[in-house]
Amino acid sequence: MLKVAIVQHAPIYLDVQASLQKLCTHIEEAAAGGAVIVAIGESWLSGYPAWLDHCPEAALWDHPPTKEVFALMYQNSICVPGPETEVLASLARQHQLTLVLGVNERVEEGPGNGSIYNSLLIIGPEGQLLNHHRKLMPTYTEKLVYALGDGRGLKSVRVNGVQIGGLICWEHWMPLARQCLHNAGEHLHVALWPTVHDIHQLASRHYAFEGRCFVLAVGQLMRVKDLPPQLRMPETLSTQPEKLLLRGGSCLIGPDGHFLLSPQWDTEAVLLAEIDPLRVLQERMTLDTSGHYQRPDLFHFELKTNG
């Protein structure tokens, strides 16, 4: 049995250093609870750009307040590798943890400088960066702030005797991205979401059933008061500063598609649970989409990691 943890907390929005300090505290809490794998939500460092969906002027062309917020988002994104990943690597080494977390990643030099990527990092128990995945396709309004990722991070890594992989948000509706990670032999899949509402639960449960793996579906919290003050918000929101825009919903799903930890709503917590990797093999008796339930004589699959 392996103990896993989900950090379902709000970051300090658009403040990467304060968010990192808060995250370290929660990772320490997870370690104290016996977790060996800790998952943190989409673009947690330092905040999912929910203002794109809630502030009506955010998408206006040549809108100075939006440009200001984008610049703040860039300044509070992290470089990979960089000082923030070194802090997390040190913490992983100290507690022999594997961290799976979502970050806003910036590039300062070379191709892509000036861009932000919606990225997923896996940091192993020796402090090594085991995987660095950039979201392939920003979803809808996200295209205003995020660049396109590539295929180099579409893989799983072996830690504590299990294969761990992950995807970000609507990548879970990209059939070939799913198949790529099924082929990578995941035992544990980390699904990063802003919030794990009912349709995201559906995607996560489908992924677990299709891939015959455990799925940690990871959400986070965000309140109206966290929206950037530079942007005007609807009156219905401005009068409710404590209203939750992102409500968590984090859960653990077994390789048969059923909940082992039901969705947890509206609460900040470090959620602990256990997985038994043997269950993955048991469930693959009936369905193995990268093995006996695949037809390579009929279908050809290829991943281009340089594109």
Catalytic one of 135, 142, 155, 213: 135
Catalytic residue among 22, 84, 155, 169: 169
Residue (of 254, 244, 167) closest to 215 by Cα position: 254
Residues 253, 258: Cα–Cα separation, whole Å: 6
135 is catalytic: yes
Catalytic residue among 22, 42, 155, 213: 42
Q: Are 220 and 44 in contact (CB under 8 A)?
A: yes
Active site residue 42: yes
Helices within the chain (DSSP H only): 16-32, 51-54, 64-75, 83-95, 175-183, 198-211, 235-238, 278-283
Q: What is the 3-state secondary structure (H, E, C) of 166-235?
A: EEEHHHHHCHHHHHHHHHCCCCEEEEECCCCCHHHHHHHHHHHHHHCCEEEEECCEEEHHHCCCCCCCCH
Active site members = 42, 135, 169
